[in-house]
């Protein structure tokens, strides 16, 4: 497999991540199958991120300086996608890293299966004072989530898996359309929902992993309260209901809306910003709670079976050795 064939474009939006993004970029430069281009879109950072990138990675990456009014992650990803030339597209975050074999492992899977996209495991981690990766939760999606055709049903019950764990064919993403640019929280959920609506062929590759870094400066945690996140989630789910044709999925989404609405109605800053919500889904809500409880019993964790978890510590150590 040569350096340029097949071609891979990596798209990384960033905002004030000068202290972290170097490790992210290095994890791509050190891939066993390096990408043909790494496109970093800076959303008007104030910490000299651009100067750092130009100094450290002058001829190794493409830098887009987004100084416009819209600095949402979705807008930045759209800017990167517009110039991306690769056959395959990797969306990634500027604070995470990946095992050295991720791109090669997932490209081989796509070439073998002819799938529209492939995903693999991810795990939440922190960096210790000794510069070692430490696991903070179970490995997610080590096992596949099930039939891709049921992804909408899974998501309407609350399931989600991170976009950076995927590798997409560019031709498929043209069908998905651009990222939403009017939201900052849950824009990735909305994007995965549109992916699921197309009922793509999705492959699973468990031999590589994304390390999802947990830290104090995560954008959604730093800039948004729980109520503000709920407010965006409320409107996203309302929009999905309006566009949904499946009756059962519609009911499940309404339950999610009711939960968020209940929390917002108790917040003084938001209770007057959402309309009265009077629908009662008590029976379905009880059914979902029972189903979730049984799932957690079978998975022996706080996660549902659909999350495909692994508690195997030697497996994490193996992944950590490949970062």
Percent of the chain with pLDDT over 90: 63
More confident site: 249 or 55: 55
Average pLDDT, the chain: 89
- For the ranges 186-200, 241-255, 305-319, the lowest mean pLDDT is seen at 241-255
Give the range with max mean pLDDT: 9-13, 44-48, 181-185: 9-13
Tokens 């529209």 -> residue? 116
pLDDT of residue 2: 46
Distances, alpha carbon 61 to alpha carbons 91, 99, 176, in Å: 15, 19, 26
pLDDT of residue 278: 57
Write the pLDDT tens digit of every residue in 57-97: 989 999 999 988 888 999 999 999 999 999 999 999 999 99
More confident site: 279 or 20: 20
186: Cβ–Cβ under 8 A, 6 or more apart, which residues?
229, 232, 233, 236
3-state per-residue secondary structure call for 55-119: HHCCCCCEEEECCCCCCCHHHHHHHHHHHCCCCEEEECCCCCEECCCHHHHHHHHHHHHCCCEEE
- For the ranges 112-121, 186-195, 254-263, the lowest mean pLDDT is seen at 254-263
* Residue-range domains of the chain with CATH: 8-222+312-320 (3.90.550.10), 226-303 (no CATH)
Structure tokens, 5: 């064939």
pTM for the model stands at 0.90
pLDDT of residue 271: 66
- For the ranges 2-6, 92-96, 213-217, the lowest mean pLDDT is seen at 2-6
CA 110 to chain centre: 19
Write the pLDDT tens digit of every residue in 288-314: 778 888 888 888 888 989 999 999 999
CA 202 to chain centre: 15
């Amino acid at each position: 497999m040569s350096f340029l064939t097949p071609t891979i474009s990596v798209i990384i939006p960033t905002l004030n991540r000068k202290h972290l993004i170097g490790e992210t970029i290095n994890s791509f430069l050190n891939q066993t199958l390096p990408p043909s281009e790494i496109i970093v879109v800076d959303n008007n950072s104030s910490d000299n991120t651009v100067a750092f990138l130009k100094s450290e990675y002058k001829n190794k990456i493409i830098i887009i300086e987004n100084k416009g009014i819209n600095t949402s992650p979705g807008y930045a990803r759209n800017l990167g996608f517009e110039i991306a030339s690769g056959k395959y597209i990797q969306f990634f975050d500027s604070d995470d890293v990946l095992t050295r074999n991720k791109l090669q492992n997932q490209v081989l899977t796509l070439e073998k299966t002819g799938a529209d996209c492939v995903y693999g495991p991810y795990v939440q981690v922190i960096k210790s004072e000794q510069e070692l990766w430490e696991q903070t939760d179970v490995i997610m999606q080590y096992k596949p989530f099930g039939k891709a055709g049921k992804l909408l049903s899974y998501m309407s019950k609350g399931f989600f898996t991170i976009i950076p764990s995927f590798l997409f064919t560019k031709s498929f993403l043209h069908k998905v359309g651009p990222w939403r640019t009017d939201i900052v929280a849950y824009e990735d959920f909305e994007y995965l929902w549109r992916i699921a609506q197309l009922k793509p062929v999705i492959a699973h590759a468990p031999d590589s992993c994304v390390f999802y870094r947990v830290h104090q400066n995560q954008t959604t945690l730093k800039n948004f309260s729980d109520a503000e996140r709920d407010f965006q989630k409320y409107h996203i789910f309302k929009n999905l209901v309006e566009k949904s044709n499946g009756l059962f999925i519609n009911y499940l989404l309404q339950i999610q809306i009711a939960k968020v609405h209940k929390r917002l109605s108790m917040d003084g800053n938001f209770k007057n910003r959402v309309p009265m919500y009077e629908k009662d889904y008590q029976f379905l809500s009880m059914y979902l709670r029972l189903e979730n409880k049984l799932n957690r019993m079978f998975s022996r964790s706080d996660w549902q079976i659909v999350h495909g978890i692994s508690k195997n510590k030697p497996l994490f150590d193996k992944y950590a050795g490949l970062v």
